[in-house]
Amino acid sequence: MNAKKIDRIASGVIYALVATVVILLIAILGYILFNGVPDISWSFLTSAAQSFSAGGGIRDQLFNSLYLLVLTIIVSLPIGLGAGIYLSEYASDNWFTDLIRTSVEVLSSLPSVVVGLFGYLLFVIKLNLGFSILSGAIALTFFNLPLLTRNIEESLRSVPNLQREAGMSLGLSNWKTTVKIILPAALPGILTGLILSAGRIFGEAAALIYTAGQSAPTVDYGNWNIFSATSFLNPMRPAETLAVHIWKVNTESVTPDAHLISSASSAVLIIVILIFNLGARYLGNKLYNKITATK
C-alpha cells in the first residue's frame, strides 16, 4: 500500500467518526426539539405547574433554574478567580500546589449525585438549611468550582510569558500586571468557560434533588423582600428547577399531560443551553476584539 492510499483510508475513517458524532448530536437535538417545541407556548412558560390536572406550566421552575444559576455563579466566580489567579500567577511548583491541583481534579470527577447527597447530609440536615435554594447553590458551587478554577487557570496560563515580562520591565507590580494585562487578555477564555459551565449548572438535576428540593411553592413575584417567606427571592425556600421538574414529571407525576410537559420542558432546557453555548462563542470573540481594539 502506498502512502497516498493509506492517507485516503485514514481520512475516510476520520470523516466517518466525525460524521457519527454530528449525526448523534443532530438526532438527539432533533428528537427533543421536534417533540417539544410544538407544545411550547406563552402560557406554558408563564403559568404555574399543576399537580393533578392538565395544562400546567413551568413558570416557577424556569425562574428557579435561572435564580440558582445566578446565585451559584455569584458564589463560585470569586473563589474560582482567586484560586485560578493564585495557581497560575503566584504559586510555585511544589508539593502544596500539586496537592491543590490533585484535589481540584478529584473534586471535578465526583459524580454529581454524590455531591448532591453530601450537600443533603451537610447543609440540609447538619446545618439545618433545609431544602433550599441556598443549599442547592452551595452544592452546585462544589460541582462547578473545580472546572471553573481549572478553566480560569488555563486561560491565564495561555497568555504568553512575554506579556508578564513586558509588564514587569515597565515597573508594574506582579498584581498590577496580573489584573491589568494578563486577566484582560485571558478574559475571553474565562468568559467562554463561565458560560459553558452555566449550561452545565442549568441542566443539572442530580445534585439538586436532595438540596434545592423537589417542590416549587407558590411565590409572589411582586415581593422583593428576600427575608419574606413568600418572596420569589427568598434563598431559604425550596425550589424545584426545570431539570428536576423533568425528572419528577417523568417518574412520579399523575397529571394527564405529563408526557407533553416533559417534552416541552426538555426542549426549553435544551434551547436555553444552546443559547448559552452559542452566546459563549459570540461574546468571547466580541470581547476579545474589544479588548485588543481590533475592529
Residue closer to another protein by CB (options 146, 188) is 188
What is the nearest approach in angstroms of another protein to the Cβ of residue 292? Answer: 4
Residue closer to another protein by CB (options 183, 206) is 183
Residue closer to another protein by CB (options 20, 292) is 292
What is the nearest approach in angstroms of another protein to the Cβ of residue 154? Answer: 17
* Nearest Cα to Cα of residue 246 among 261, 256, 231: 261
User: How far apart, in whole angstroms, are the C-alpha atoms of residue 135 and residue 122?
Assistant: 9
Tell me, what amino acid is at 13?
V
Question: Among 54-62, 79-87, 218-226, 286-294, which window interacts with another protein (CB under 8 A)?
Answer: 286-294
User: How far apart, in whole angstroms, are the C-alpha atoms of residue 145 and residue 131?
Assistant: 21
End-to-end CA distance of the chain: 50
Q: List, in sequence order, every beta strand (DSSP E) within 30-110.
A: none
Cβ neighbours of residue 116 under 8 Å, at least 6 residues apart?
139, 206, 207, 208, 209, 210, 211
Cβ neighbours of residue 253 under 8 Å, at least 6 residues apart?
261
Residue closer to another protein by CB (options 192, 211) is 192
What is the nearest approach in angstroms of another protein to the Cβ of residue 284? Answer: 14
Grid cell 453530601 is found at: 118
171 DSSP 8-state letter: T
The grid coordinates listed for 25 are 448530536
Indicate the length of the chain as a whole number. 295
Residue closer to another protein by CB (options 21, 293) is 293
What is the nearest approach in angstroms of another protein to the Cβ of residue 271? Answer: 34
Residues 246-285 that bind another protein (CB under 8 A): none
What is the nearest approach in angstroms of another protein to the Cβ of residue 197? Answer: 24
Residue closer to another protein by CB (options 155, 234) is 155
Residues 167-226 that bind another protein (CB under 8 A): 167-173, 176, 180-181, 184-185
The grid coordinates listed for 179 are 489584573
Residue closer to another protein by CB (options 130, 184) is 184
The answer to whether residue 291 forms part of the interface with another protein (CB under 8 A) is: yes
User: Mask of contacts with another protein, 151-170, x by CB under 8 A?
Assistant: ---------x-xx-xxxxxx
User: How far apart, in whole angstroms, are the C-alpha atoms of residue 202 and residue 211?
Assistant: 15
Binding site for another protein (CB under 8 A): 160, 162-163, 165-173, 176, 180-181, 184-185, 291-295
